Amino acid sequence: MAKKIGVIAGSPVDTQMGVDVLAGRGAQAFAYPAAYAAREQTEFQMQSEQVRTEKIRSIMKQALADGMDDFMIYCNSLSSTVDMPALSAELGVKVVTPLMAYARYAGEYGCLAVIAGNNQGLAGIERAIMGANIKCTVIGASLLPMVVEVEEKTEPMAIVEKFALPSLADFFEHAGAEALILGCTHFPYIRQALEQTIRLPILDPADRMCEMLL
């Protein structure tokens, strides 16, 4: 019998995105959002460590009761603000997060650019990369308003233009970046439009996460 994977993310939108990523690879995936909107997600992540951890622990216990076998944390900032390895060990279940993908990228590049959904996520990504390779330089930008545009299903190319992403990518490239990480799980929504307008290779951690789970 195929494993059932619980997808935990910040809002119903990015949680469903994670479900779709796994379903596209033939996995059984089920959604467990931690909040109901992007801004609520960011506010939740500003709560105490105890409050954040207890919320995710509760979600995981419910998901395990529902028959889940493994978990994908399809949210960068959530992965940065809750000790997922500790919960994995406590509950005896496999938990894969974007931070694990970034640690792998760290060994492949000397300078990486990141666009993240909020500053908690950006800081966590930098820690993951530099924790794996202290010599890897991280250049980043935090774009919560762009997350809101994705949640509202604004047309992808309109988002790319509104936030001047080609100019931002040019800045990253001139600063030495070798690739651009989509450091928010909402951002694959604009990946195709972005690939049409920038030169930097684009890295989506979902690809590595699926490898680790499946």
Contact 61, 48 (CB under 8 A): no
Under DSSP, the state recorded for 184 is S
Nearest to 187 by CA among 162, 171, 206: 206
Residue type, 150: V
How confident is the model over 173-202, as a mean pLDDT?
96
Under DSSP, the state recorded for 181 is E
Q: For the chain, list the domains and their CATH numbers.
A: 4-97 (3.40.50.1860), 100-204 (3.40.50.1860)
In which band, very low, low, confident or very high, does the pLDDT at 11 lie, cut at 50, 70 and 90? Answer: confident
Is the per-residue pLDDT at 39 higher than 80? no
Share of the chain above pLDDT 70, in %: 97
pLDDT digits (tens, 9 = 90+) for 49-103: 888 899 999 999 999 999 999 999 998 888 888 999 999 999 999 999 999 999 8
pTM recorded for the entire structure: 0.83
* Inter-axis angle of helices 98-106 and 205-213, nearest 10: 110
Residues whose CB is less than 8 angstroms from the CB of residue 10 and which lie 6 or more positions away in sequence, other chains included:
33, 34, 35, 38, 41, 42, 44, 75, 77, 78, 117
Is the per-residue pLDDT at 45 higher than 80? no
Give the Å distances, CA to CA, from 78 to 32, 52, 55, 71, 94: 13, 9, 11, 13, 17
20 burial type by CB count under 10 A (0-12 exposed, 13-18 middle, 19+ buried): middle
- Which pLDDT belongs to residue 2? 78
Buried b (16+ CB within 10 A) or exposed e, 145-167: ebbebbbeeeebeebbeebebee
Residues whose CB is less than 8 angstroms from the CB of residue 167 and which lie 6 or more positions away in sequence, other chains included:
none
- Which pLDDT belongs to residue 1? 65
Four-residue CA torsion sign, 89, 90, 93, 94: negative
Nearest to 82 by CA among 70, 95, 69, 93: 95
Share of the chain above pLDDT 90, in %: 75
Which carries the bigger pLDDT value, residue 27 or residue 120? Answer: 27
How confident is the model over 35-61, as a mean pLDDT?
82
Residue type, 199: R
In which band, very low, low, confident or very high, does the pLDDT at 38 lie, cut at 50, 70 and 90? Answer: low
Instruction: Please compute, for residue 94, the number of CA atoms within 13 A of its CA located in the half-sphere on the CB side.
Output: 14
Contact 204, 182 (CB under 8 A): yes
- Which pLDDT belongs to residue 138? 97
- Which pLDDT belongs to residue 21? 94
